[in-house]
A and B are shown apart, each in its own frame.
Chain A
């Protein structure tokens, strides 16, 4: 017997959760099944919408034929992107026609962000305006984003208060001095200094940030001093490190730390540090494992639960089990080696892109493995890339194409099935990395796919 629901969402990330909630709010009975935990642990926790319109044409024609072995780097020459954009919406028309934002329209993004605001609640900021914010991330550069964790807010770059960036000698992700230098090079409207301090030395070298977060959560004693106090003491000597243009010394108004200020007690940790330092405290979004990403994941699954969506993780969809008249009836789910049919009136494919394994590839080509949907791609894999790592990489745009109702399309641009919708990283056409649009594309495609799937199912 098949396990049935109105809508089956396949995938476990931001797009999957968005579509599941959107479908549930349309009154559908929704089930979500995902293979692995989402890739949110690798994401910064910033929720971007559109930060740039990157160049899609190189300044010079691309080479023809195979790459050549020069001793020098054979970089393509790409013009600067348009941006950073203060307004993510007005630039949508300047994206390529096949971009999901162009296909679905700006309102899909607006509504997706509104749904996110509702799910994220107090933990996130930025919903008070349609304007992007610029926030520093762990590379030391500022990034345009539509929403940001409350824990990161005091780091906003359009804030004029002098800032101190704290780095730890035992953490290697960034050097605080270079970080501050990079902010200055970006022309930020505040004075900034970086300080490398000793704190994590009390832990073994290569201690994970999750371990440090726990120590702060529980205020564990470090050499006899509670962790939060010890951290504040390590930073305190640097509160006057900022030198303004005139050579005067400013006391900093805010202090940035790598994003490990507590896991479950983050607000309390920040409050205490802020109190002890007499300055606002903010977290700098980091690479994997990303605590802000993990916190967001927790929050979203909690919301999913509250919406009455049943979910299971650890079970991949391995293929279509039955179809009739252009509709899928059941898919096959691998439940610990046992294939089980899952039936639904409509399906949302939100399995992620190349990272989340929603797209698979070998030397012959790129595939969408769950439903076998068409993935547009150059036939020759040597046309999947350009020579500049940050050029317009064709591979970055790989994915399933969708119609304006979110249905997955076949090679001819027709709906592949009557009842299959696609959302998130598995959808192609966007270069989310260069556009800074990964979360926005998930939200926009997610809300459309979820609503349309519910409509299809409850017709």
Chain B
């Protein structure tokens, strides 16, 4: 099934999703291929900050200006992906006053609206801030859900005729007569949705232009075409807390440093981060000291973090890039700007453009600029409308109060469903009756899970990214089997079992970095539920050897005959035990 299209976009992160949407809306025939789930690489592994530009207001004012501009655009076009939390740059006594002033002036110079507040006012807004925080700059930072944002971009692209293929790694870049003419991809479980157990296939997609939007992996795709793209991947840790200690983005107001930001995100807070160059974006150490550093350093801003419950930690790699010969040593000094590398100009190999660097907040602007470039290359005349056209889900104000009545949802569930689905809520929630909650921590109902399964097949991690199901306190302990059970409507049992196992193990991966205190207790409870009670590890269905059922107890004769007897004793115990217990508690001694 080979195909000729206008453009293949490689990489399903924010940039790739933004590019394919933009191209599709301009009337080009585009395909997006991603080797994992959407957001699988760097986009799904960020802290979810919607930059106001304040972070770059001193060091990189070009980026800062772009950030504030795009920040305002995203509030309009992607309202259901953004939480307008506001942000603070806080100053502790030991932080430089001179830098505080520089930051303030920098923000003003970049047209970032700012307000200086004293420590008391800062603590009035965020009561858990340390008592010795002296003052703060308030500005319009926000939180953005990168999963929802990418999915919405991909969905809009599809509505405009694009094809989206996930779990489809590029295995070769096709070069003919000194020109790039397409890519070869492997469909891990066949084209379309991922379904466990389906056989893999390969496909050649021939295209007039290839966009390499694989970020930290850009070098790998470049190498397949025979060109050098020297990305300098830099890892950073993010630690997820179980609750929102703050409702505002809290930044430390100092030049640069690790562990200087707290982003409230849905039900959690995310602490970040570190900045360490790594050789391979696929293989680098996830270290204990990084987690400890987050908690200890950020406790200086919010002391409650020291003893708070941590759910998990994850790491991401920044796709940093600088033109050859720049030679910056410290990765924190490498520019956060983006670069567009036309391999025709650069390597005398036309037909492909690579985009590297940049950040999620400015993804749309990056997509616009690369789409302009591609349209030029293809001689296609169409203008960009992505700054004005709302994403699916953000077309209208979500009708949250009405939703509650309409779909019989408990109020926090309705509110959260409404936030996640935005203007799609009506269509999605209307599908199921009854519509029970499947993930209690995050208030995700059957309808949302089914909607996500409809898009993502049996890949429950993709369902998780779309719905947040299994992302709360229990980390899948109370819900991974329930989410998997939702697959049974469409898929046979072995698919349900494999999908469940994959989700549970993925959840375990991040929890390893939070194994102390209450989350260690949770991990043990999960272990007891899934291994002791459900016997997931010893299930004869999954073991190699067969079980001799005849060797086991087949029931007591008295049991089969008298399964309905003995009621008196049972009833008495039920009464007596409770009563005795209460009496002892209340009146004891």
Chain B CB within 8 A of A236 CB? no
How many angstroms from the CA of A13 to the CA of B578 in the assembled complex?
Answer: 14
Interface contact B535-A381, CB-CB below 8 Å: no
Of B46-54, B177-185, B486-494, the stretch lying at the interface with chain A is B486-494
On A, residues with C-beta under 8 Å from B are 3, 37, 42-44, 46, 48, 51-52, 54, 65-71, 73-75, 80-81, 83-84, 86, 121-123, 125-129, 131-134, 137-144, 150-151, 153-154, 156-159, 169-175, 177-178, 180-189, 200-201, 204-206, 263-268, 270-271, 274, 280-282, 285, 287-288, 295, 297-305, 310-314, 353-355, 357, 360-363, 366, 380-382, 384-385, 387-390, 393, 395-396, 432-434, 436, 438
With most chain A CB atoms within 10 A of its CB, the pick from B40, B315, B505 is B505
Which listed residue (B494, B537, B543) contacts A434, Cβ 8 A? B537
- Contacting residues, chain A, for B235 (C-beta < 8 A): 69
Which listed residue (A141, A201, A390) contacts B434, Cβ 8 A? A201
Interface contact A188-B549, CB-CB below 8 Å: yes
- Contacting residues, chain B, for A43 (C-beta < 8 A): 528, 532-533
- Contacting residues, chain B, for A380 (C-beta < 8 A): 288
Interface contact B283-A70, CB-CB below 8 Å: yes
How many angstroms from the CA of A173 to the CA of B488 in the assembled complex?
Answer: 12
How many angstroms from the CA of A302 to the CA of B386 in the assembled complex?
Answer: 69
How many angstroms from the CA of A153 to the CA of B559 in the assembled complex?
Answer: 7
Tell me the chain B residues, 528-554 only, with Cβ under 8 Å from chain A: 528-554
- Apart from the given pairs A158-B553, A355-B528, A357-B521, 15 other A-B contacts in the complex at a CB distance below 8 Å: A44-B532, A68-B283, A69-B285, A128-B558, A132-B553, A139-B539, A153-B559, A181-B496, A185-B541, A303-B573, A305-B577, A305-B580, A353-B524, A354-B520, A360-B517
Interface contact A86-B531, CB-CB below 8 Å: no
Of B60-68, B73-81, B116-124, B561-569, the stretch lying at the interface with chain A is B561-569
Which listed residue (B515, B528, B570) contacts A266, Cβ 8 A? B570
Interface contact A128-B574, CB-CB below 8 Å: no
- Least Cβ distance of A91 to chain B in Å? 13
- Contacting residues, chain A, for B438 (C-beta < 8 A): 172
Which listed residue (A54, A158, A300, A385) contacts B515, Cβ 8 A? A385
Chain A CB within 8 A of B589 CB? yes
- Contacting residues, chain A, for B431 (C-beta < 8 A): none
Q: Which residue of B lies closest to A439 (CB)?
A: B532
On B, residues with C-beta under 8 Å from A are 36, 40-41, 235, 282-288, 292, 295, 315, 408-410, 434-438, 446, 478, 481-482, 484-489, 492-494, 496-497, 502, 504-506, 508-509, 512-513, 515-517, 520-521, 523-525, 527-556, 558-560, 563-567, 569-578, 580-581, 584-585, 588-589
Q: List 25 A-B contacts (CB under 8 A).
A: A42-B525, A68-B284, A68-B285, A69-B283, A73-B505, A73-B506, A125-B555, A127-B556, A133-B554, A139-B534, A143-B538, A159-B555, A172-B482, A173-B481, A188-B549, A264-B575, A267-B565, A285-B533, A298-B577, A301-B580, A302-B580, A314-B585, A361-B516, A393-B527, A395-B515
Which listed residue (B288, B548, B549, B565) contacts A381, Cβ 8 A? B288
Interface contact A182-B556, CB-CB below 8 Å: no
Interface contact B552-A133, CB-CB below 8 Å: yes
Interface contact A42-B529, CB-CB below 8 Å: yes
How many angstroms from the CA of A3 to the CA of B588 in the assembled complex?
Answer: 12
How many angstroms from the CA of A260 to the CA of B489 in the assembled complex?
Answer: 24
Interface contact A169-B580, CB-CB below 8 Å: no
How many angstroms from the CA of A288 to the CA of B438 in the assembled complex?
Answer: 14
Q: Chain A interface mostly helix, strand, loop or mixed? A: loop
Which listed residue (B36, B487, B589) contacts A71, Cβ 8 A? B36
How many angstroms from the CA of A180 to the CA of B434 in the assembled complex?
Answer: 22
- Contacting residues, chain A, for B486 (C-beta < 8 A): 172, 175
How many angstroms from the CA of A295 to the CA of B286 in the assembled complex?
Answer: 45
How many angstroms from the CA of A439 to the CA of B165 in the assembled complex?
Answer: 49
How many angstroms from the CA of A419 to the CA of B549 in the assembled complex?
Answer: 45
How many angstroms from the CA of A206 to the CA of B436 in the assembled complex?
Answer: 5
- Contacting residues, chain B, for A175 (C-beta < 8 A): 485-486, 488-489, 496
How many angstroms from the CA of A336 to the CA of B548 in the assembled complex?
Answer: 54
How many angstroms from the CA of A400 to the CA of B196 in the assembled complex?
Answer: 43
Which listed residue (B437, B577, B585) contacts A172, Cβ 8 A? B437
* In the complex with contacts A68-B286, A171-B436, A267-B566, A141-B573 CB distance below 8 A: no
- Contacting residues, chain A, for B436 (C-beta < 8 A): 170-172, 205-206
